[in-house]
Amino acid sequence: MTKRISIIALFCLLLTYAHAETIFLRTGVRVKGEIVFQNEEVVIVRDASGARMQYPRADVESIRSDETAEKNSTEDPANDQMVNDQMVNKKASILLELAGGAAMNPNGGIGGGVSADLIIGSHHIGDRHILIGGGVGYHGMILLDIFEPAVVVYNFIPVQVTVRMPLIEQKHAPVFGASLGYGIAMSKDYLGGLYTGIDFGYRYQLNPRTAIGAVAYAQIQQATVPVKTTIEENEFVNTVGRNLFAFGYKFTFYF
């Protein structure tokens, strides 16, 4: 009787596994088994041996039934390579950042600044949602020179390399970012220079590929600007280096 029960249990286990599903992870690994539980945070899978494995939902690229996976493999012998290529391609991501806040020139200018940046790069390093990429944008500052007085406008096109990294790999996560590049001046009245920025804030992962966030940022843009000097009633114009500071809040969109 006991032997018969064991055979029936084994048969049920094999029958369940025969209708198992294949979980495709973002790392390219495939896991075959029965999904015993899943929600927005995790997916728990039981394999043929009965062992249970848990994966963060954000790491799961797709879930397919065994029949679908086998059909795709039968119809197209190169399907495995195609699936892997698609997974690699899907690791690419676009980051759009819109920012606004205060700006200043330590030599006497205060005002405000706005910026928009578009970054393209890899959104996944290993099993982490780390974005490393490059892109361009627009940074504008309107400063009131308190010594003139006069309103000075600075516009730059930053060409930059950017890193955005969540401190924990969860749906709700604090995120840290840094950028480094060169700001190209959009006027002949001044020259651009080195650009750098850091930010820290919050990111919400909507799905494995899409996220939104809000961060506080600080930026430094180097520039070479003309400065007027009067000596014995004679006016001279020299060019000097300036560090233009901007800080405020930034909204981020990953897609």
Q: What is the mean pLDDT of residues 51-63?
A: 81
* CA distance linking residue 251 with residue 155, whole number of Å: 20
Measured between alpha carbons, how far is residue 113 from residues 35, 128, 196, 204, 248 in Å? Answer: 51, 32, 15, 26, 9
Average pLDDT of the chain to the nearest whole number: 79
User: What is the separation of C-alpha 41 from the centre of its chain, rounded to a whole number of angstroms?
Assistant: 19
Per-residue b or e along 162-184, where b marks 16 or more CB atoms closer than 10 Å to that residue's CB: bbbbbeeeebebebebebebebe
Q: What is the mean pLDDT of residues 142-149?
A: 81
CB atoms within 10 A of CB 121: 19
Would you state the pLDDT for residue 77?
43
- Classify residue 15 as exposed, middle or buried by CB count within 10 Å of its CB (0-12, 13-18, 19+): exposed
- Write the pLDDT tens digit of every residue in 78-132: 444 434 444 444 467 899 999 999 999 888 789 999 999 999 998 777 667 788 9
CB atoms within 10 A of CB 109: 24
Q: Which of 25-39, 157-171, 241-255 has the lowest mean pLDDT?
A: 25-39
Would you state the pLDDT for residue 73?
45
Element (H, E) at 228: strand 211-231
Whether residue 167 has pLDDT greater than 80? yes
* CA distance linking residue 223 with residue 33, whole number of Å: 59
- The closest alpha carbon to 123, from 183, 203, 217, belongs to 203
Would you state the pLDDT for residue 43?
85
Domains recognised in the chain with CATH numbers: 2-90 (2.30.30.100), 92-254 (2.40.160.20)
Residue 98 DSSP one-character state: E
47 Cβ contact list (under 8 Å, min separation 6): 17, 31, 32, 33, 53
Q: Alpha helices of the chain — where are they, by DSSP H? A: 2-18, 66-75, 79-90
* CA distance linking residue 98 with residue 117, whole number of Å: 7
Residue 41 DSSP one-character state: S
Percent of residues, the chain, with pLDDT higher than 90: 38
- Write the pLDDT tens digit of every residue in 24-52: 886 667 888 888 888 877 888 888 778 88
Most confident of the following: 104-108, 193-197, 231-235? 193-197
Percent of residues, the chain, with pLDDT higher than 70: 75
Q: Which of 54-68, 69-83, 144-158, 177-191 has the lowest mean pLDDT?
A: 69-83
